[in-house]
């Protein structure tokens, strides 16, 4: 979680901030190395070291890693580690995936409409949506163009070699028919 902080002179006077940072770092599921990457375009290395000291962070040379395990590992405890020689790009430029993926086979009829009935893989509370991505042999020969996606459904789009369709809002079950 990126944070923009002023220098150590200001942060050391923020009541309870060091404890809040330690609580946040300890509450994350999984294992991280380092716990914090301190990066600045204007602060000197000495100023970053001073900020790390104010936050109660310990230096490390461990290779960067992030991971999770099921069941979750016990909560982390201090001392938390930091590095100042890492670029933030790898942590902020990534593709995020949300939801629970599920797969199933669908019978596609060449001489009439095909109906797809899907039960949500997760329980819904309130307003929700679903992104359905279609892939498989029937789509392999199709050119990934908007006009082809519209033949399947007016709101369909190609994404990463798959045909996708968003349903907003939806209930626990929804149905899609094609002609």
158-170 residue pLDDT tens = 988 888 888 766 6
- Which residues have C-beta within 8 Å of that of residue 150, sequence separation ≥ 6? 156
Structure tokens at 91: 């942590």
pLDDT tens per residue across span 101-150: 667 777 766 777 777 776 666 666 666 667 788 888 878 888 999 999 98
pLDDT tens per residue across span 43-91: 888 999 999 999 999 999 988 877 766 666 777 788 899 999 988 776 6
Strand stretches in the chain, DSSP E: 31-33, 36-37, 57-59, 65-67, 80-83, 114-119, 130-134, 157-159, 162-167, 173-178
């Amino acid at each position: 979680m990126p944070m923009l902080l002023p220098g150590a002179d200001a942060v050391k006077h923020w009541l309870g901030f060091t404890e809040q940072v330690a609580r946040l770092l300890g509450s994350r599921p999984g294992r991280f190395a380092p716990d914090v990457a301190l990066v600045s375009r204007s602060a000197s290395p000495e100023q970053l070291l001073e900020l790390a000291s104010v936050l109660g962070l310990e230096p490390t040379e461990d290779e960067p890693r992030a991971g999770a395990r099921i069941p979750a590992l016990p909560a982390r405890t201090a001392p938390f580690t930091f590095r100042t020689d890492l670029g933030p790009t790898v942590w902020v430029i990534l593709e995020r995936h949300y939801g629970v993926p599920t797969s199933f086979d669908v019978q596609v009829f060449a001489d009439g409409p095909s109906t797809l009935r899907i039960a949500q893989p997760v329980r819904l509370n309130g307003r929700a949506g679903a992104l359905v991505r279609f892939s498989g042999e029937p789509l392999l020969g199709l050119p990934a163009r908007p006009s082809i996606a519209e033949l399947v459904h007016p709101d369909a789009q190609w994404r990463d070699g798959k045909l996708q369709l968003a349903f907003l809002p939806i209930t626990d079950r929804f149905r899609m028919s094609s002609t």
